[in-house]
Amino acid sequence: MTKLETSRAWRAMSCAVLLTLGGTFAAAGCSSSDCSDEIAAAEPFLKDPSNLVCESDADCQVVQTGCHEFRGFACGQAELNTAAASSAKWSSLQSGLLNCQKNCTQCLVGLLAQCMAGFCGGAPQ
């Protein structure tokens, strides 16, 4: 198993363990609101390699993504490089995601910003 695969497996396992131990916490996505437009707008931004490229952990930031679990990320969080995370475009996308579904519970895992294989969170999926 590669370092990237190990990291993703650890995140998934940690989330599952905390969901089990947390009792009252559930997976994201518990609101009945339809946020398909906001999700469709944010997904390409979160997968764009130019928004993920990094040289060190210091180049990466964890951002909140609301109730939707984007593939490759966990617990309403994603990783972006600092430039993308502080951009007006992400601010607008994130605002849409956070305002769309306000009432959801999420697991208690906090992602750590990591630069792996030259990308925040590892190579895009």
pTM score over 0.75 = no
SS3 content of the chain, % helix, strand, coil (to 5): 45, 15, 45
- Chain-centroid distance of CA 20 in Å reads 20
pLDDT recorded at residue 34: 79
pLDDT recorded at residue 118: 97
What is the spatial distance between Cα 64 and Cα 27, in angstroms, rounded to a whole number? 15
pLDDT in tens, 6-44: 444 444 444 433 333 333 333 333 344 578 999 999 999
- Chain-centroid distance of CA 18 in Å reads 17
What is the spatial distance between Cα 120 and Cα 3, in angstroms, rounded to a whole number? 13
pLDDT in tens, 104-123: 776 767 778 999 999 999 98
pLDDT of residue 95 exceeding 90: yes
